[in-house]
Amino acid sequence: MPTYRYPRIHASEITPEEVWHGRRDWIKAAGAALTTGALGAWPQVGSAAGLAALPSTPNANYVVMDPSTPEKDVISYNNYYEFGMDKGDPFLYAKTLQTEPWALSVEGECAAPKTFGMDELLKLAPMEERVYRMRCVEGWSMVIPWIGYPLSALLKQVQPNGRAKFVEFVTAVQPKNMPGVSSRVLDWPYKEGLRLDEAMHPLTLLTMGLYGKVLPNQNGAPVRLVVPWKYGFKSAKSLVTIRLVEKQPVSSWGRSAPSEYGFYSNVNPEVSHPRWSQASERRIGEGSVFSPKRKTLMFNGYGSEVASLYQGMDLRKNF
């Protein structure tokens, strides 16, 4: 079987293996505090800081046969433009993200709008570990064991009304802590959107951890979205507002480059990005940069679960 590799990461951008293995006792103690409800301050997670354990139950319905991407690669090779455009920038600079206190407002077309603190979010539904494939529009992919619960569990709390057709996601903006927001690459804050039925789909995960621990800052702490059948930029990080709306929201990338980033953004290898093919991908952490790429799967391999959402739609036009 061929092996694959992502573009080169500088050694300075990767946490030494011994640092990660040396945290086991600390993680165990932090996890015990979490399970008893004594969460305390949400960890300020930087490039080499310890991460609190986040207990969860593996969901056997959401696994893939591919091996998970090494954790050190998942936390050091990221797109999070608020901290810079290079893949290693979030790992280097996201330690400045302030995640305590944190509040997530759920509002708009609903009967019971509410603002949730992190303690409430952590206790709202049972935490599950789900192993998802993730595909980036730039042509690289990962397999990540996320921890969270279906977004639908949160949305049901606010009782969407009959006018709610779409869901808009708004992310944090901290100008003093996010060096990338001084750039004009996008209009800040970062915004994304889903149809309501996409947001309520069981695969759509409100996510608060990975690899058995709370999210690192560079991966979207303390709470983010994960939509595995869509390109990665749809899975908005560091959420502060979820808004139920009647009209289709305009996403940040859709506003910036509408010819390149459509609203649906489903993984579709038959539709090329205007500047590159989407038919194949390189799996982060595998093999050589010269190894053959692997074939990209329609809906990132989740077609049996989500294809019915788009029945009758032209997925070349509605890209």
Number of structural domains in the chain? 1
Please report whether residue 74 resides in a domain.
yes
Please report whether residue 1 resides in a domain.
no
Closest CA to 145 of 49, 274, 59: 59
Q: What is the pLDDT of residue 50?
A: 79
Please report whether residue 124 resides in a domain.
yes
Please report whether residue 314 resides in a domain.
no
Please report whether residue 6 resides in a domain.
no
Contact, 153 vs 206, CB < 8 A?
yes
- Span 239-274, pLDDT tens digits: 999 999 999 999 999 999 999 999 999 999 999 999
- Span 70-101, pLDDT tens digits: 999 999 999 999 999 999 999 999 999 999 99
Residue 267 belongs to what domain range?
Answer: 11-307
Please report whether residue 319 resides in a domain.
no
Bigger pLDDT: 290 vs 209: 209
Q: Hey, what are 208's tokens?
A: 């608060």
pLDDT surpasses 50 at 47: no
How much is the average pLDDT of 95-109?
Answer: 97
Q: What is the pLDDT of residue 303?
A: 98
Say how far apart CA 283 and CA 286 lie, in whole Å.
Answer: 6
Please report whether residue 2 resides in a domain.
no
Say how far apart CA 220 and CA 102 lie, in whole Å.
Answer: 13
Mean pLDDT score across all residues of the chain: 87
How much is the average pLDDT of 25-37?
Answer: 35
**DSSP state, 256?**
H
CB atoms within 10 A of CB 141: 27
Cα pseudo-dihedral 69, 288, 230, 224, rounded to 10: 40
Say how far apart CA 284 and CA 71 lie, in whole Å.
Answer: 11
- Span 118-172, pLDDT tens digits: 999 999 999 999 999 999 999 999 999 999 999 999 999 999 999 999 999 999 9
Say how far apart CA 201 and CA 220 lie, in whole Å.
Answer: 21
Here the CATH number for the domain that contains residue 199 is 3.90.420.10
Contact, 39 vs 122, CB < 8 A?
yes
Say how far apart CA 13 and CA 84 lie, in whole Å.
Answer: 14
DSSP helix, strand, coil percent of the chain (3-state; round to 5)? 25, 25, 50
Please report whether residue 202 resides in a domain.
yes
With 0-12 / 13-18 / 19 or more C-beta atoms within 10 angstroms meaning exposed / middle / buried, residue 295 is: exposed
Quote the pTM value: 0.84
